């Protein structure tokens, strides 16, 4: 093969390549680049700031529990309990008026007691406070077949059939106070109910608008041989037994009263008869009238002294037949009384007391008649 080109051959024009560039593309934006740099710095700073905050933050304690405030007389007043409250369960919150925290608990028994208090309020203004003027007191015999007579008789039988004090007190007037009194009487004082006969007689006593049923029974364990049961009409329409007067209850037993000889007033339910014992602080017969006081069962006795020339002494003299005492040496007259008594200070004897006040002829009372609970 010949390497010599032909005579008509024209060599091609040489192609020049573009020179290599040392700089990047001319599409360069300096503002965008600066914003990107600033955004990166912010993100990095925020990251380190959060890391520092969590590293130096102290652990927090849980929210404090509410402090239970000491209740005051206004904060502990219980709201009236409606019939819907019967659906309460044991341990449910107890509603109170004005309390900041309803933290008290109530049982079904307490709820029932509150409802009982509401419906067992006695009817009549005489129960609410002392009347502005003396009320007329009337007593009329009741027939045994009358509805009120039979209702009172059935209630008393129901009371006798109950064995639990919590059930007994629900048949009683002022049941919220009677339960504690029953525990004191039966458990501490070892008292007992009257042993009554089957025969009875009834009376309807009127104190203004208040109507009280009285049933009298022969009784083998009472000093006078009889006992009276009083029944108060409640706002619910039912009769309620006046338990304190029925059993002859006093806040302290007679033996304990003589042992303590308190100078503070104590109301006693007693049987009064004429007395002639003048001794110790009460030896002045011209100054004092002696009244012998017997416990309801007749086992214990005290000598009470009333200042002569007072209405109280006159009442005793008219009712207890002191003339018979001077002639025969004893008096058969007995009168049910509630007496406010104190021992002398200092006391020389444990059987001689002052008589400061008296409610004659009955063992039931209204709250305003006594300064201290009998």
Tens of pLDDT, residues 343-358? 998 889 999 999 999 9
Q: Which residue has the higher pLDDT, 237 or 46?
A: 237
Span of 11-20, 111-120, 225-234, 262-271 with lowest mean pLDDT: 11-20
pLDDT of amino acid 38? 64
Structure confidence at residue 90 as a pLDDT band (50, 70, 90): very low
pLDDT of amino acid 47? 62
pLDDT of amino acid 123? 82
Structure confidence at residue 61 as a pLDDT band (50, 70, 90): very low
pLDDT surpassing 60 at residue 16? no
pLDDT of amino acid 176? 72
193-207: average pLDDT: 94
Structure confidence at residue 209 as a pLDDT band (50, 70, 90): confident
The ranges assigned to domains in the chain are 88-119, 127-247, 254-369
% of the chain beyond a pLDDT of 70: 68
Round the average pLDDT of the chain to a whole number and report it.
Answer: 79
Structure confidence at residue 131 as a pLDDT band (50, 70, 90): confident
98-111: average pLDDT: 53
Structure confidence at residue 374 as a pLDDT band (50, 70, 90): low
Please say whether the beta carbons of 119 and 234 come within 8 A.
yes
238-262: average pLDDT: 95
Find all residues with CB under 8 Å of 7, minimum gap 6, and list them.
none
pLDDT of amino acid 69? 36
The most confident of the ranges 50-59, 264-273, 328-337 is 264-273
**b/e code 247-281 from CB counts within 10 Å (16+ = b):** bbbbbbbbeebbeebbeeebbbbbbbbbbebbeeb
DSSP collapsed to 3 states, 9-38 = CCCCCCCCCCCCCCCCCCCCCHHHHHHHHH
pLDDT of amino acid 267? 96
pLDDT surpassing 70 at residue 12? no
pLDDT surpassing 50 at residue 235? yes
pLDDT surpassing 60 at residue 288? yes
CA distances from 109 to 155, 156, 187 (A): 21, 23, 21
pLDDT surpassing 80 at residue 275? yes
pLDDT of amino acid 83? 35
Structure confidence at residue 94 as a pLDDT band (50, 70, 90): very low
Q: Which of left, alpha, beta for 211 (phi over 0: left; psi -120 to 50: alpha)?
A: beta
Q: 105 φ, ψ to 5°?
A: -115, 155
Tokens of 244: 């304190």
Q: Which residue has the higher pLDDT, 284 or 128?
A: 284
Q: Which residue has the higher pLDDT, 340 or 27?
A: 340
Structure confidence at residue 31 as a pLDDT band (50, 70, 90): low
Q: How many Cβ atoms are within 10 Å of 33's Cβ, its own excluded?
A: 9
pLDDT of amino acid 346? 87
Structure confidence at residue 121 as a pLDDT band (50, 70, 90): confident
pLDDT of amino acid 55? 56
Say which CATH class 254-369 falls into: mainly beta
């Amino acid at each position: 093969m010949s390497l010599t080109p032909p005579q008509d051959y024209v060599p091609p024009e040489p192609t020049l390549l573009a020179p290599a560039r040392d700089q990047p593309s001319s599409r360069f934006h300096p503002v965008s680049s600066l914003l990107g740099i600033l955004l990166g710095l912010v993100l990095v700073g925020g990251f380190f700031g959060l890391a520092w905050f969590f590293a130096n933050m102290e652990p927090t304690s849980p929210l404090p529990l509410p402090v239970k405030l000491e209740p005051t007389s206004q904060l502990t007043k219980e709201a009236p309990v409606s019939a819907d409250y019967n659906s309460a369960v044991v341990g449910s919150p107890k509603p109170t008026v004005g309390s900041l925290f309803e933290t008290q608990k109530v049982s079904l028994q307490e709820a029932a007691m509150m409802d009982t208090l509401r419906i067992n309020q006695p009817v009549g203004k005489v129960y609410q406070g002392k009347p502005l003027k003396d009320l007329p007191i009337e007593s009329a015999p009741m027939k045994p077949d009358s509805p009120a007579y039979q209702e009172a008789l059935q209630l008393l039988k129901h009371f006798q059939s109950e064995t639990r004090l919590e059930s007994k007190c629900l048949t009683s007037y002022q049941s919220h106070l009677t339960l504690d009194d029953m525990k004191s009487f039966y458990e501490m004082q070892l008292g007992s109910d009257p042993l009554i006969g089957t025969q009875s007689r009834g009376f309807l006593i009127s104190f203004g608008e208040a109507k009280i049923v009285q049933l009298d029974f022969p009784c083998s364990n009472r000093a006078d041989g009889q006992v009276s049961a009083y029944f108060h009409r409640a706002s619910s329409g039912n009769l309620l037994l006046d338990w304190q007067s029925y059993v002859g209850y006093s806040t302290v037993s007679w033996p304990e009263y003589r042992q303590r000889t308190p100078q503070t007033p104590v109301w006693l339910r007693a049987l009064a008869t004429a007395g002639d014992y003048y001794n110790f602080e009460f030896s002045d017969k011209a100054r004092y009238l002696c009244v012998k006081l017997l416990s309801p069962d007749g086992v214990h006795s005290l000598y009470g002294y009333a200042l002569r020339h007072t209405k109280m002494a006159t009442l005793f003299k008219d009712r207890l037949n002191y003339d018979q005492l001077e002639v025969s040496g004893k008096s058969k007259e007995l009168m049910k009384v509630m007496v406010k008594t104190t021992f002398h200070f200092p006391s020389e004897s444990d059987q001689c007391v002052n008589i400061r006040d008296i409610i004659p002829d009955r063992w039931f009372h209204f709250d305003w008649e006594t300064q201290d609970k009998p």
